[in-house]
């Protein structure tokens, strides 16, 4: 497995409220998470860091013998534990009132994987030249598109495109979307915050991922650079996981 992780504050924001973590465990499980925090007075970075830390602790020591269904339960439980931790801190501290975060996470084995998410941070899979979005944004504009009130093109520049319908930590109870995915040699998984996807088109992402002369780190750098060139309106975080024989991680 090859892994690359990049995060950039962008050109507008004063604080990077994105957090991410990825690791290949001793049992050959690959775990990754991206969280995009929100909340005033730097509460967003507190929320995203707490979510990542809680998720990581919940998955420590996970055996590789778990079935796909067991890993679905595990990733849901880990994200719900993160929700509980963030909600509890926000409830007990006035300065963190209403803080929250998006989350998109992956738990991968050799043949398959599990994706869990809340919010509008996304997961994509790249296989055989085709980019597939694995997550569905929990946003107001996505609900409007699904109901036919606006078009997908109108959603791109909609004034309320950043309004989430679901986030981690803002409510005591939250629903986590979880799905299993096939995971085969040479597949590539992209986890990212919306600082990438609001600035960079899926066509540009595809063009970057198919560049054979770029290694995984260079592809992550290219994606962040494209978002910055397009304006860098938000923090940008990219995690790339490549189903390859050798193992390396660059940060």
- pTM of the complete model beyond 0.75: yes
Look over the chain and give the mean of its residue pLDDT values, rounded to a whole number: 93
Q: How far is residue 232 CA from its own chain's centroid?
A: 18
Pairing of strands 2-8, 248-250: parallel
β-sheet bridge partners, residue 100: 38
Task: Identify which of 1, 204, 192, 195 has the alpha carbon closest to the alpha carbon of residue 110.
Answer: 1
β-sheet bridge partners, residue 116: 105, 178
Task: Identify which of 12, 31, 235, 34 has the alpha carbon closest to the alpha carbon of residue 119.
Answer: 34
Identify the sign of the CA torsion 166, 167, 173, 174.
positive
pLDDT tens by residue, 186-229: 999 999 999 999 999 999 999 999 999 999 999 999 999 999 99
pLDDT tens by residue, 32-41: 999 999 987 6
If pLDDT is split at 50, 70 and 90, which confidence band does 246 have? low
Residue 248: burial class (beta carbons within 10 Å; 0-12, 13-18, 19+): middle
- pLDDT of 248 strictly over 60: no
Give pLDDT, residue 161: 79
Query: Domain spanning 2-250 has what CATH number?
Result: 3.60.40.10
- Residue 234, CA atoms < 13 Å, CB-side half-sphere: 20
Give pLDDT, residue 250: 44
If pLDDT is split at 50, 70 and 90, which confidence band does 138 have? very high
pLDDT tens by residue, 51-61: 999 999 999 88
Mean pLDDT of 168-176: 96
DSSP character string of 125-150:
EEETTEEEE-----BHHHHHHHTTSS
């Amino acid at each position: 497995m090859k892994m690359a992780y990049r995060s950039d504050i962008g050109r507008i924001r004063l604080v990077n409220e994105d957090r991410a973590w990825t690791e290949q465990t001793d049992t050959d499980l690959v775990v990754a998470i991206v969280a995009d925090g929100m909340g005033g007075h730097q509460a967003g970075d507190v929320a995203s860091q707490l979510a990542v830390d809680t998720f990581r602790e919940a998955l420590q020591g996970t055996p590789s013998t778990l079935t796909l269904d067991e890993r679905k339960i595990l990733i849901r439980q880990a994200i719900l534990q993160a929700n509980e931790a963030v909600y509890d801190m926000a409830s007990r501290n006035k300065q963190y009132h209403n803080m929250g975060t998006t989350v998109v996470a992956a738990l991968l084995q050799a043949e398959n994987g599990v994706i869990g998410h809340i919010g509008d941070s996304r997961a994509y899979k790249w296989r055989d030249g085709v980019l597939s979005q694995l997550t569905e944004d929990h946003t107001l504009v996505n609900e409007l598109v699904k109901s036919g009130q606006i078009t997908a093109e109108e959603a791109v520049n909609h004034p309320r495109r950043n309004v989430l319908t679901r986030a981690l930590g803002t409510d005591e109870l939250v629903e986590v979307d979880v799905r299993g995915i096939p995971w085969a040699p040479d597949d590539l998984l992209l986890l990212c915050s919306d600082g990438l996807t609001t600035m960079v088109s899926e066509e540009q992402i595809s063009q970057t991922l198919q560049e054979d002369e770029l290694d995984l780190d260079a592809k992550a750098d290219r994606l962040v650079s494209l978002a910055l060139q397009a304006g860098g309106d938000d923090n940008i975080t990219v995690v790339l996981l490549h189903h390859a024989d050798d193992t390396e991680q660059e940060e």
